[in-house]
Amino acid sequence: MPDLLDRILHEVRQRLDASRSAAEEYRQLERALEAIDGTSPKPDDRGRARRSNRRSGRPRESKRAQRERNRERLLAVLRDRPGVTREELSNVSGVSAAVLAQQLRRLVENEQVTERALPGGQRGYALAASATTDEPAH
């Protein structure tokens, strides 16, 4: 019996060592992706946002700058995909559902975005006609 336990313990330790390097590589790739495209970490299997413990020396973005960046992401998706649902908008833009709801409310109130019923009971969002003509050319 002790031989069996020793063998199992040894096997578990080997698998743990092999997994450790893969997990570290995953964390490094996740940090690299975040640094390159500026997206926040995606939720883990339990729906909580994963946070990295990075210290890049880069100054943190102000809340106002974050809101503006999120707004611009949403408007870009809405330009490319009129009639998009909230779920699609969140997935494509990388903006969380809570931030998305707040931004959409503001955009609809300011008449920059229109909301309409879609088949199946979902809501679709598109840029308002005035929002597409008021934007400066890039």
Q: How is the chain split into domains, by residue range?
A: 1-42, 63-134
- Topology of domain 63-134 in CATH is Arc Repressor Mutant, subunit A (1.10.10)
Q: Are 134 and 124 in contact (CB under 8 A)?
A: no
Sheet with 84-85: list strands edge to edge: 84-85, 123-127, 113-117
Q: Are 42 and 50 in contact (CB under 8 A)?
A: yes
List the pLDDT tens digit at each of the 138 positions of the chain.
678 888 888 888 888 877 887 787 778 877 777 777 665 555 555 555 555 555 555 567 788 888 898 889 899 999 999 999 989 998 888 888 888 899 999 999 999 999 999 888 888 999 998 655 554 444
Q: Alpha helices, DSSP H only, in the chain? A: 2-37, 63-80, 86-93, 97-109, 129-134
